[in-house]
Amino acid sequence: MRFLIAIICMVGSPACAASIAFTTESYPPFSFLKDGVPAGAGVEQVSRMMMEAGSDMHFTIEVLPWARALALAETQADHCVFATARTPERENRFKWVGPMQMDRNSLVRRAGSAVHVPNLAAAKSYRIGTQRDDYTEALLQQKGFTGIDLSASFDLTLAKLLGGRIDLMPMSQPVIQKLLKEQQPIEPVVELSQQELAIACNKSVANALIVRMQTALDRLKANGTVDRIYRAYGVELVH
């Protein structure tokens, strides 16, 4: 589903050239669909960043399965994807704007389950699930996890966890906070990683636009806007 911020400009105007298509995934409270329209802390953060960058910055935001969202940003001109873990493997595949936030990721079990995970080594004997082409898939593989159960979306992975089809799944701290406030039956058991989450843009995106977006994001972080956005969604950012 696509959300369009339209800027009126005359045909042939230089302003019409600054157009970026953003993709993201369903990952509440960071990004999700509300009445068919993208919403969430990350969606609002990107929207405010683009408006801060200038009235000529025409953009769209679309919520897609993560693998497709990431692939579009890597293969299609003037596309960006968020929130993307800025890993060494991805560094040279994109141009970057960020960080949007610093994230802590933990393995989570269904509350009350018999899953006992005092450390990461112990977790390897359990069924682990995550989203296809999410950075946690590669992270789990790097840490020696095998037989990873892959789904198209976070929502499907969570449904598998709550339904007992998998034993553990990686989850970021803001999402854990949200689900616990909603009294979802989950429990974090062991930290998996810490990483920077950022906006990853196709390498065709003009350097001048990357600078404008970065400058706008930095201003919003410095004046407290980003913290206020996240607090409105019940999330305290890690600094």
Determine the pLDDT at residue 140.
96
Provide the pLDDT for residue 223.
97
237 domain residue, yes or no: no
Instruction: Clarify whether residues 151 and 37 are in a common domain.
Output: no
Residue 3 has pLDDT above 50, yes or no: no
Across the chain, mean pLDDT equals: 91
Cα distances (angstroms) measured from residue 126 to each of 108, 117, 129, 194:
12, 9, 10, 22
Q: Does residue 113 form part of some domain?
A: yes
Nearest CA among 6, 26, 24, 1 for reference residue 16: 6
Whether residues 83 and 15 share a domain: the answer is yes
Give me the DSSP letters along 170-221.
Answer: EEEHHHHHHHHHTT-SEEEEEEEEEEEEEEEE-TTS-HHHHHHHHHHHHHHH
88 shares a domain with 205? yes
pLDDT at 10: 34
Same domain, 134 and 110: yes
The verdict on 37 and 147 lying in the same domain is no
Residue 12 has a pLDDT of 36
Q: Is residue 213 part of a domain?
A: yes
Confidence of residue 6 (pLDDT cuts 50, 70, 90): very low
| Helix 41-53, helix 207-222: angle, nearest 10 | 120
**Per-residue DSSP letters for 86-116?**
--TTTGGGSEEEEEEEEEEEEEEEETT----
Query: Which two structure tokens, joined as six digits, stand for 213?
Result: 């977006």
Residue 33 and residue 7 share a domain: yes
Q: State the pTM of this model.
A: 0.79
The token duo for 183 is 């009294």
Residue 151 is classified by DSSP as: E
How many domains is the chain partitioned into structurally? Answer: 2
Q: 113 and 97 in one domain?
A: no
Q: Which CATH number do you get for residue 10?
A: 3.40.190.10
Q: Tokens 């004997």 correspond to what residue?
A: 125
More confident residue, 164 or 12: 164
**CA 130 – CA 168 distance, rounded (Å):** 9
| Residue 217 and residue 175 share a domain | no
Are residues 98 and 206 both part of a single domain? Answer: yes
**Does 51 lie in the same domain as 71?**
yes
The answer to whether residues 133 and 214 belong to one domain is no
| 159 in the same domain as 120 | yes
Q: Is residue 239 part of a domain?
A: no
User: What per-residue confidence (pLDDT) applies to 45?
Assistant: 98
The tens digit of pLDDT for each residue in 63-106 reads: 999 999 999 999 999 999 999 999 999 999 999 999 999 989 99
pLDDT in tens, 143-188: 999 999 999 999 999 999 999 999 999 999 889 988 999 999 999 9
Domain residues for the domain of 144 are: 103-195
